[in-house]
A and B are shown apart, each in its own frame.
Chain A
């Protein structure tokens, strides 16, 4: 299992649209992927879970990925966060 810390950079935060983008990427991979915020951990393939994180701009999340394609999955998700979900 590998993990990385990311920051929500876009102004509107992890609202519906970025959440959908994130889930679509997570769902492409076989690995189990989790997002952790303040000990609260959710399945990154669950849109409901990601939305209930309600992560606003500046909040820090931990991505955990576990499986054969974990490295690729983690990298793609990090890129998504770094790009501010295409909203910056």
Chain B
């Protein structure tokens, strides 16, 4: 069971969408920003109007105004320092964010500029707004993606300065044990509320990648953002359910929902207790061999669930899921936003985006109808190279999203080296165009191939010269090697990833990768298959990418394995000529195994 399974958003919506009256239950939809479920009372922060016009002051007040700004600034610096001291013991990430905000607040260039504006006869508030708007516009218009996002931080600092100037300080401590409902929250607010013992956050605006969201997640405080009109619809002391998995807020919930969610909360706690201790531990065998455990991503939320479960990055983004979801091939910007969001959420850990792996069984537009045999047909890289318009759009979107420098490109269904070469040519054309347009991207973006056809495994030595990494897709590799359709029940006994032929192809691939010193991972079902973990370890795999729900179980398994023993096991098994022999040897080595399966690979 994944943590996400605890949320039952659709059930809630179906049952109560119609009841929107006063005093009745009201279900409000937002964006899930920090996971978890909370039942509690609301504490609503009314947003004061912070817009300050170009307010002039008489010249004899200029000195007072300068003092007022100095005092506000140093008050806020003190407040920031206090918050910073409180988070020092937390993760370095949070402290770094707050430190940057502190540096912006006390930036000498900004300070001088504000004071100069005050000296020209503007009020302190006006001067602050003018200066921050100026910087913000500069940040917003820059080509640098990361910088553009900092514009939001600037807004927060501006707002805080104005709040202090107007003496609109929030009394954080009264929010103890309640759910804060606000228009927006700053990082300082979040830290102070956490200190005050707030149990969840609801905001009307905000982005999932904003520092406030990151903070809420790091503090493990459930949060739902983007809940329209939350401050008006929710009144102080209202009963609330906050579902940070589904992005749902239930205002004045009926008893039946309180009971249902109470049950969910205890289930989540049980789940966390069971495996939670492993989250921060490395996937390392008892004799010190470290394995990267990555998460497979079908939907945005998988990134977070993966990280929550201690993934070392994203090993496989199945980008075709975006097509399934939207029922069409998404435009460049839609793709860009999705890839960027994944990259942000996973940062600084790596993200492998597999380009559209579609065939006529998954998507029909522009594809021949009724292919006799879609699995052996026009799919993956074959389709993409024939539809350069689609492929180029995707490559552009990925490149644009690569500014964090943690994205890798993964090519599906490769059977010949020239497919890689054509793709690299196309990628170079995209890069050149971006250069001409002055759009930034990661110039050294790594390219890898899926090893899922026997052909790719057999020419892995040649492929390894052209690419930066391999990812073995064991499901397809098995079906193509054994000529057994993985969806055909009549041949399901033949479809077996432990067949010696499959294992030998995997071994061949690993050897080719080791020769060129490039990483090789497994992202098929075999990676999440408990019986095979030892075998893959022994074969020399350096990365395993699995569904988020399997990560902790996999980690547990690796931490109980000995690399030396798994090497012996792999050696023995490679010498088996039948898969019965393989099974017997596996059974001998691994007792009382639970087989964990990941469907839909």
A54 to B440, CA, bound (A): 11
Determine whether B104 belongs to the interface, using a CB cutoff of 8 Å to chain A.
Answer: yes
A54 and B142 CA atoms in complex are apart in Å by 9
Choose from A16, A23, A45 the contact partner of B150 (Cβ within 8 Å): A16
Selecting from B17-25, B106-114, B506-514, B554-562, the interface stretch reads B106-114
Q: How far is the CA of A52 from the CA of B148 in the complex (A)?
A: 10
Main secondary structure of the interface of A (DSSP, over half): helix
| Interface size class of chain B, counting residues whose CB lies under 8 Å from the partner chain | 20 to 34
Contact present for A47 and B103 (CB under 8 Å): yes
Residues of A near B109 (CB, < 8 A) are 43, 46, 48-49
Q: Report yes or no: B104 in contact with A47, Cβ–Cβ below 8 A.
A: yes
B440 proximity list for chain A (CB < 8 A):
56
B99 within 8 A of A: yes
From A15, A23, A48, B110 is in contact (CB under 8 Å) with A48
Cβ distance B210 to chain A, nearest Cβ, rounded Å: 14
A4 at the interface (CB under 8 A from B): no
B146 in complex: contacting residue of A15, A20, A45, A47, CB < 8 Å: A15
B99 in contact with A52 (CB, 8 Å): no
Chain B contacts for A46, CB-based, 8 A: 107-110
Evaluate whether A54 and B103 lie within 8 angstroms (CB atoms) in the complex, with A12-B405, A16-B150, A48-B135 already known.
no
A43, A48, A49, A52 pick with most chain B CB within 10 angstroms: A48
On whether the beta carbons of B142 and A48 are closer than 8 Å, the reply is no
Residue A6, interface by CB 8 Å: no
The smallest beta-carbon distance between B5 and chain A, in angstroms, is 36
Bound CA–CA A46/B110 (angstroms): 8
A85 CB to closest chain B CB (Å) equals 12
Q: How far is the CA of A16 from the CA of B103 in the complex (A)?
A: 11
The distance in angstroms between the C-alpha atoms of A45 and B103, with both chains bound, is 9
**Quick one: which of B104, B108, B405 contacts A45, CB cutoff 8 A?**
B108
Knowing A11-B405, A48-B135, A52-B142 touch, does A20 contact B108 (C-beta < 8 A)? no
**A61 → chain B closest CB, angstroms:** 16
**CB-contacts of A31-67 with B (<8 A):** 43, 45-49, 51-52, 54, 56
A16 to B100, CA, bound (A): 7
- Closest Cβ of chain A: how far from B263's Cβ, in Å? 42
Whether a CB of chain B sits under 8 angstroms from the CB of A17 is: yes
Would A54 and B107 be within 8 Å (CB), given that A20-B100, A47-B100, A48-B135 are in contact? Answer: no
B257 within 8 A of A: no
Is A24's beta carbon under 8 Å from chain B? yes
Indicate whether B439 reaches chain A with its CB closer than 8 angstroms. Answer: no
- A54-B405 contact in complex given A16-B150, A17-B96, C-beta closer than 8 Å: no
Which of B108, B142, B143 is within 8 Å of A43, CB to CB? B108
Choose among A12, A23, A24, A54 the residue that contacts B147 (Cβ–Cβ < 8 A): A54
Whether a CB of chain A sits under 8 angstroms from the CB of B144 is: yes
Are B146 and A16 touching (Cβ within 8 A)?
Answer: yes
Q: Are A48 and B107 in contact (CB under 8 A)?
A: yes
Q: Inside 8 A of A51's CB, which chain B residues have their CB? A: 147, 150
B369 interfacial by beta-carbon distance below 8 Å: no
Is B142's CB under 8 angstroms from A47's CB? no
A15 to chain B, nearest CB (A): 6
Query: Inside 8 A of A56's CB, which chain B residues have their CB?
Result: 440
Which of B107, B138, B404 touches A47 (beta carbons < 8 Å)? B107
Closest to A87 in B: B348
Q: How far is the CA of A17 from the CA of B97 in the complex (A)?
A: 8
How far is the CB of B485 from the nearest CB of chain A, in Å? 43
Within the complex, what minimum Cβ distance (angstroms) separates A66 from chain B?
Answer: 15
Residues of A within 8 A of B144 (CB): 54
Q: Which of B104, B404, B405 makes the CB contact (< 8 A) with A48?
A: B104
Residues of B within 8 A of A15 (CB): 146
Interface centre among A24, A43, A47, A56 (most CB of B within 10 A): A47
Closest CB of chain B to A45's CB: distance in Å?
5
B100, B138, B440: which has the most chain A beta carbons within 10 Å? B100
B124 shortest CB reach to chain A, Å: 19
A47 and B107 alpha carbons, distance in the complex (Å) = 6
Whether A52 pairs with B138 at a CB distance below 8 angstroms is yes
Q: Which A residues are in CB contact (< 8 Å) with B138?
A: 52
Evaluate contact between A20 and B405: CB separation under 8 angstroms: no
Q: Binary interface profile of B, 545-556, with partner A (CB < 8 Å = 1, else 0)?
A: 000000000000
CB under 8 Å from chain A, chain B span 133-171: 135, 138-139, 142-144, 146-147, 150
A51 to B136, CA, bound (A): 12
Bound-complex Cα distance A34 to B152 (A): 26
Minimum distance in angstroms from B157 CB to a CB of chain A:
11
A54 vs B149: C-alpha distance in the bound complex, in angstroms? 13
Judging by beta carbons under 8 Å apart, are B103 and A20 in contact? yes
Smallest Cβ distance from B589 to chain A, in angstroms? 41
Q: Which of B49-101 contact A (CB under 8 A)?
A: 96, 99-100
Task: Provide the residues of chain B in CB contact with A11, threshold 8 Å.
Answer: 405
- Closest residue of chain A to B110 (Cβ to Cβ) is A48
Question: A43 CA to B142 CA in the complex, in Å?
Answer: 19
Among B142, B150, B404, the one with the most A-chain Cβ atoms within 10 Å of its Cβ is: B150
Given contacts A20-B103, A48-B135, A54-B147, 19 further A-B contacts (CB under 8 A): A11-B405, A12-B405, A15-B146, A16-B96, A16-B146, A17-B100, A20-B99, A24-B103, A43-B109, A46-B108, A47-B100, A47-B103, A48-B104, A48-B107, A52-B138, A52-B139, A52-B142, A54-B144, A56-B440
Tell me the B residues contacting A by CB distance below 8 Å. 96, 99-100, 103-104, 107-110, 135, 138-139, 142-144, 146-147, 150, 404-405, 440
Question: Could you jot down 23 A-B contacts, CB within 8 Å?
Answer: A12-B404, A12-B405, A15-B146, A16-B96, A16-B146, A16-B150, A17-B96, A17-B100, A20-B100, A24-B103, A45-B108, A47-B100, A47-B103, A47-B104, A48-B109, A48-B110, A48-B135, A49-B107, A52-B139, A54-B143, A54-B144, A54-B147, A56-B440
Interchain residue pairs A-B with the least CB separation, the first 7: A46-B109, A47-B103, A54-B144, A20-B100, A46-B107, A48-B107, A45-B108
